[in-house]
Structure 1
Amino acid sequence: MQSENVNMVELKKTVCPLDCPDSCGMVAKVENGVITSLNGDPDHPYTNGFLCRKMRSYHQRVYSEDRILHPQVRVGKKGQGQFARISWDEALTLLADKLSHVRDTYGGEAILPYQYAGNMGHLNCNAGHALYHKLGTSRIIETICSAAAGAGWSMHLDKVPGSPPEVAEDSKLIVAWGINVKVTNVHFWQYISKARANGSKLLVIDPYRNETAQSADEYLQVLPGGDGALALGAIKSLLERDLLDQQMIDEQTTDFEQLAAYLQATPWQEFCEQSGLPQQEIERIATLLQDNPATFIRIGIGLSRNSRGGMSVRAITALAAALGLLSGQPGQGLLYSSKAFSGDSARVRFPELLEKPTRFINMAHLGHALTTLKDPIRLFMVYSCNPLSVAPDGSMVRQGLLREDLFTVVHEQVMTPTARYADLLLPATTFLENRDLYTGYGHFQLGVVNPVVPALGEAKSNFQLFQELAQKLRFTDEAFLQSEEDRLASYIATIEGLPADFSYQREKFSGWITSTRRRLGESVKECWNYSYRFAAAGEPGIPSIPCVLKAAEFADKDLCSRFPFALITPPHMDLLNSTFGERYPGKNGEVLIHPEDAAEYDIKEGDCVRLSNFRGKAERVAVVTDATQRGLLVAPGIFWQTDSSGTGINDLTSQKVTDIGEGPTFHESRVQIEIM
């Protein structure tokens, strides 16, 4: 008797793992063991059933012909992407032997790990640290995203969480400050829409008129890096007109008199020159804020990626505090990062395995680390990151990867530009094949998810790779004997923000957990017994109060004379950092240029142009538009290097770091432009 074909359909919940504040809850449709669609989870309180267009087709990457499914070793020249298949046992043996040889011959610090938030699951994001500590490797300072913004927030608000995004629903004025909500925080738009339906206004502050600004009620064009000057100028305006609530400031903040003295002693010219706005415009914005007590400010991380980045965040938090936006009244809020949950990182990173302190290397200084360190890096190991595309000064990174005495290991899903330079290429699972714990930094939800489908081919998760590698090295410490469930349970037991009656049991865990750190209807003072401090103790040389700083590269007279354009590199609608670059082979991306600048350089819409400086070059297609300002080139997106150009946009960016936090200065490069 012939059996009938049965179509088995399952709906499985998971979470987007990418470095995005939305950290969406997702529902995968699985038909006969194959993922056929991805949608937003309607049960997730923040996702509410909507999924961005980038992730709706992510399952195609799982089954793509570009997927790396087997271990491979390099057989061609570095960078050519030519490999031969080997077994996992051969791969692990080779890697274990290389690690042991480098450690024994040159010392553990000759090994450099490089990882970041390509997968933000707490289990897999931190999977390599135990082994790296055991080997005594050099240690990466993870600064590449939000170091400056986080340092700026912490100086004045310490560990206080940001406001819940849903508070914005009741706002009368929402300020998207240095954040392209429609591209990098799309789920926050639902609260903007609800608020506007009730009469709220949206103000966008940004150096160029991005997608969000095009939909705003008002757009304010500030100079790149001038956000701090604008925020401080607004406080100065309100102070001079006696429009601040001094009683509120006295009761909920400290040290305002120090900031006030600085503002009164500093001439208006400083704030106007640095922000690029006339005094009357700054005063108008200050009045707009004062007239709308129910204001919600959403701070973007991008505005902190310049030489004054930490100070910009500090100044905006000071403005919010001076306006009383930390008072807990309806519609009042300030959000940079939710800081919804915090756990003991030692439970996933095991610093106790480090026998003695080893050197730190800033992620922003990768080019330097691979080329000019006195004690060279001999083995470079990458996972959950594509450093050749995302690290600054990409030409120097490429130079380092070409070293014949450097052994590079890449654990990856597809053939990224970095993977092409690997000596040993290892297949990595996607998040749809992993078990992990996720917490968002734009909302207040936590979720633990199971694999949606089994791993394809011979792909291994980060966790599985490092546990098996430790066994090959014959390490028997408890950390290397843990199962996924052991480590998850150990970490979850330390998390702050879980409900008091929460008890983690795998078989009973389902749905989404809302953090108890979600502040609604209470002031920061009431909820956290914390007063905002206008003056904060910092490192030597760091001003205690927010103040106006001059730019570094943007203001360098020598560079300005040789490279007449400022360059910023904001996110692109179809990319998330460099993720999804494989979807656009051969595409260099676009660069926005003001019509008057285009006319001066005889550049027309659609022209292929070359951007260059003393660090490198990159090719783009010109878009002539008044969305940008004179003298400012805007190059959205980190597209992968192409065979024709061989370079990327970060070949132009600097290894210099921000004023605080040692973050990268992606949005402060001087360049010239020419038609190709």
Structure 2
Amino acid sequence: MNAPTPKVIRAACPHDCPDTCAMEITVENGRAVKVRGADDLPFTNGALCTKVAHYLDRVYSPQRLQYPMKRVGRKGEGRFERISWDEALDTIAAKFRDIAADDPLAILPYSYAGTMGLVQGSSMDCRFFHRLGASLLDRTICASAGAAGWKATIGASVGMDPEAIVDAKLILIWGGNPIVSNLHGWRYILEAKRRGAKLVCIDPWRSQTAEKCDLHLAPWPGTDGALALAMMQVLIADGLIDRDYIDAHTLGFDALAERVRTCTPEWASPLTGLPAETIRDLAREYGSVKPAAIRLNYGLNRCAGGGMAVRNIACLPALIGAWRHPAGGALLSTSGNFPVDQQALERPDLYTAHHARPTRTINMSTIGEDLLTANDPPIRALYVYNSNPVAVAPNGARVREGFAREDLFCVVHELFQTDTADYADILLPATSQLEHRDVHKSYGHLYALTNEPAIAPLGEAKPNSEVFRLLAARLGFTDAPLFESDDEIAAQAFKRRDLRALGVDPETLAARGWARLNLPRPFTPFAHGDFLTPSGKCEFYSGSLAAQGFDPLPRWVPPHESPVSNPELAARYPLAMISPPARNFLNTSFANLPRFLEQEGSPKLEIHPDDAARRGIAAGDRLRIYNDRGAFHARAVVTDRVRLGLVVCPSVWWRKLSGDGENANAVTSPALTDIGGGPTFYDCLVEVEGVQP
């Protein structure tokens, strides 16, 4: 008898990465045996990152949760016993029914980007919780500050085509490390360098990307906004601006010019730690070399002034008319190009149809404080999926204290028994990307992708969408949108009458696995203005910010915690700490798998040789990193990759796998950003000391 012919299934990488790779899954006898990048999607180009190239380690890990369980120990101990799906669903439905009878706003869903899929990430879950009348979650933990700053200036998350950057002659890589977090986009930047472009990396530490660039500028964390203001001052003072473009396509130039008049490089130098002449040279080069591109990432938005910093940078391309060229302008995210039909996916009408009382919104970045202090009503039930807040949320001690409440009913739907899962009352097994249906947009390119299930769910695992359908039935809900299939939801993902979605249809996606948005080639979104702001112009002056009570003009917002802004605190905790992504982890995904744990080693803290010598620290020493909020331990890496006064902790480690039950979020702050309500992970002062092994 001939062996069955292997099948190849089209899939999409689900993780929180701008590359959103197209994948091909080879299946033999019902088992996935190979995962590879699709050759035909230009951005993927047949390659996957080292994490997803080993995705089968994740799918078939012996650590996978395969059956529902209920807690039998104290919260946080992680002791459970197996139960049936019927018992799990009946328990959840009964708890939700009892709580909702008093006030459904006491129930809170908590999720983020464990999957970026539109079906498993933001459809049936939203429908269910809208119908239930639960509180809403403000999903701020990564990008909300930067998104708010960009929106106030540009109008939506739209920028230059990332593939067009190959023709740029100057590229500023600002607040990101694409070798780690945007590997496929880095390929286009390298091609630009091969063609003669100069690469400048602006990042507080000499990251893997910075080491490959022609110039590295290391401003103090949280001072990118000051650097951008000083660049604007030089551009205007030296006449390196495009007056025709400014007059036709911007709003508020005269007010901007007056605002930045005193923001000279000499003003910015003591704030940023960069020499004034270095700032001046950068501005002059940016204003002279054409086309010039800026590739921002979200690292710089995780400080007190993160929203305004992105806004300040977003003003730069319009000043010099960089948007005229396909390879000029700037890019933070491409997500605004996708005509996602959020109304169809999420069905907010299910709330208004059944609930007269206005809903409330809880900021996910303050979940610890909200679990402990929220009232009207207190949070009595929490349903966590696509996220691991006990590991990733700031001010970790308060987060754990909130999750440890015995009167909090907590459901966690997960692939693995994460730090958060240890606090669950009911723990549900989730499917991996190879086991469910989905459709994806991207925030780093212009292609939509489909994901077809390649294998049957392992054990009794179920996708998010199926669990919410089952819970809706248990609660007696009868609204038709709560029972649509995943295929029906996927077909509603994009607005069919939007010209950008022409060709992005279920038939095309099923046949090829992906489709490019129907956008012009070359794509120059703002060559002739047409910004997505209320005025249709790049808004140096933002009426929308003014209406919200914010400064309508670009401005400098100092960090909450720095030697300049808070010298008293810096006297006790003199080192600034940032915690960028570890190369072998993606947030906390992959951080429990042996292959990646071995490659990452143990928690590390990079520290400048002079700072280490001052504290008697040698390479490899065990360190205690601490401030008033808490402490964690890591091994010393003594290196000049970090500037004096800065320490860097690649993250995010699972607490229970870190060696001491803590990670970098033991010391991060619960304070929020200037606009957008984002977290301030990189706005954090600490002290470091050596400890006995």
TM range (shorter): over 0.9
Look up the match of 2:542: 536
Post-superposition Cα deviations, 1:481-519, rounded to whole Å, max 9, x if no partner, equal 211122222333457464446654489643321113467
Contact kept in structure 2, 1:128 and 1:462, CA below 8 Å = yes
1:121 maps to which of 113, 117, 120: 117
**Per the alignment, do residues 508 and 303 of structure 1 end up closer, same or farther by CA in structure 2, a change over 3 Å counting?**
closer
| Pair 1:649-2:651 in alignment | no
SS of corresponding position for 2:225: helix
* Structure 1 residue 326 displacement after superposition: 1.2
Structure 2 counterparts to residues 504-653 of structure 1, below 5 A: 504-505=506-507, 509-517=511-519, 520=522, 522=524, 524-526=526-528, 528=530, 530-537=536-543, 538=545, 539-554=547-562, 555-583=565-593, 588-642=602-656, 644-653=659-668
Distance 1:324 1:248 in 2: 6
2:67 maps to which of 61, 65, 70: 70
**Per the alignment, do residues 669 and 197 of structure 1 end up closer, same or farther by CA in structure 2, a change over 3 Å counting?**
same
2:57 maps to which of 52, 55, 60: 60
Contact kept in structure 1, 2:618 and 2:636, CA below 8 Å = yes
Contact kept in structure 2, 1:69 and 1:457, CA below 8 Å = yes
The gaps in structure 1 that reach 5 residues or longer are: none
Distance 1:518 1:636 in 2: 39
SS of corresponding position for 1:548: coil
* Structure 1 residue 156 displacement after superposition: 0.9
**Per the alignment, do residues 330 and 377 of structure 1 end up closer, same or farther by CA in structure 2, a change over 3 Å counting?**
closer
Moved more, 577-586 or 378-387: 577-586
Distance 2:74 2:269 in 1: 53
SS of corresponding position for 2:439: strand
Distance 1:416 1:596 in 2: 38
Post-superposition Cα deviations, 1:328-348, rounded to whole Å, max 9, x if no partner, equal x25213110012203221212
Distance 1:132 1:379 in 2: 12
Moved more, 430-439 or 341-350: 341-350
Distance 1:650 1:47 in 2: 33
Moved more, 385-394 or 285-294: 285-294
The residue type paired with residue 68 of structure 1 is L
| Pair 1:658-2:660 in alignment | no
Post-superposition Cα deviations, 1:122-148, rounded to whole Å, max 9, x if no partner, equal 011023111211221121111111101
Structure 2 counterparts to residues 187-586 of structure 1, below 5 A: 187-266=184-263, 268-327=265-324, 329-338=325-334, 339-354=336-351, 355=355, 356-374=357-375, 375-494=377-496, 496=498, 498-500=500-502, 504-505=506-507, 509-517=511-519, 520=522, 522=524, 524-526=526-528, 528=530, 530-537=536-543, 538=545, 539-554=547-562, 555-583=565-593
SS of corresponding position for 1:58: helix
The residue type paired with residue 658 of structure 1 is T
Distance 1:151 1:138 in 2: 22
Distance 2:11 2:637 in 1: 38
Distance 1:630 1:491 in 2: 48
The residue type paired with residue 136 of structure 1 is G
* Structure 1 residue 385 displacement after superposition: 0.5
Distance 2:455 2:198 in 1: 44
* Structure 1 residue 9 displacement after superposition: 1.6
Structure 2-normalised TM-score?
0.93
Distance 2:296 2:415 in 1: 32
Distance 1:189 1:266 in 2: 32
Contact kept in structure 2, 1:295 and 1:325, CA below 8 Å = yes
Contact kept in structure 2, 1:657 and 1:664, CA below 8 Å = yes
Structure 2 counterparts to residues 88-127 of structure 1, below 5 A: 88-104=85-101, 106-126=102-122, 127=124
Contact kept in structure 1, 2:248 and 2:529, CA below 8 Å = no
Structure 1-normalised TM-score?
0.96
Q: Percent identity?
A: 39
Contact kept in structure 2, 1:22 and 1:440, CA below 8 Å = yes
The residue type paired with residue 666 of structure 1 is F
The residue type paired with residue 212 of structure 1 is T
Distance 1:658 1:503 in 2: 38
Distance 1:84 1:68 in 2: 12
Contact kept in structure 1, 2:294 and 2:330, CA below 8 Å = yes
**Per the alignment, do residues 383 and 620 of structure 1 end up closer, same or farther by CA in structure 2, a change over 3 Å counting?**
same
The gaps in structure 2 that reach 5 residues or longer are: none
Look up the match of 1:85: 82
The residue type paired with residue 336 of structure 1 is L
Distance 2:314 2:494 in 1: 31
The residue type paired with residue 544 of structure 1 is P
SS of corresponding position for 1:526: coil
Distance 1:410 1:660 in 2: 30
Distance 1:309 1:380 in 2: 29
Distance 1:484 1:518 in 2: 31
Post-superposition Cα deviations, 1:396-420, rounded to whole Å, max 9, x if no partner, equal 1111111111111100001111111
* Structure 1 residue 525 displacement after superposition: 4.8
Distance 1:535 1:469 in 2: 48
Post-superposition Cα deviations, 1:420-466, rounded to whole Å, max 9, x if no partner, equal 11111000000111111101110000022210111111000000010
The residue type paired with residue 429 of structure 2 is P
Distance 1:504 1:61 in 2: 28
**Per the alignment, do residues 496 and 590 of structure 1 end up closer, same or farther by CA in structure 2, a change over 3 Å counting?**
farther
Distance 2:502 2:7 in 1: 33
The residue type paired with residue 283 of structure 1 is R
Contact kept in structure 2, 1:73 and 1:424, CA below 8 Å = yes
Distance 1:5 1:519 in 2: 48
RMSD value over aligned CA atoms? 1.9
1:13 maps to which of 1, 10, 15: 10
* Structure 1 residue 256 displacement after superposition: 1.1
The residue type paired with residue 335 of structure 1 is L
SS of corresponding position for 2:322: coil
SS of corresponding position for 1:243: coil
Distance 2:548 2:157 in 1: 24
**Per the alignment, do residues 506 and 173 of structure 1 end up closer, same or farther by CA in structure 2, a change over 3 Å counting?**
closer
**Per the alignment, do residues 453 and 205 of structure 1 end up closer, same or farther by CA in structure 2, a change over 3 Å counting?**
same
The residue type paired with residue 333 of structure 2 is S
SS of corresponding position for 2:493: helix
* Structure 1 residue 269 displacement after superposition: 3.9
Distance 2:121 2:520 in 1: 25
Distance 1:611 1:326 in 2: 44
Look up the match of 1:668: 683
**Per the alignment, do residues 518 and 408 of structure 1 end up closer, same or farther by CA in structure 2, a change over 3 Å counting?**
farther
Distance 2:529 2:282 in 1: 30
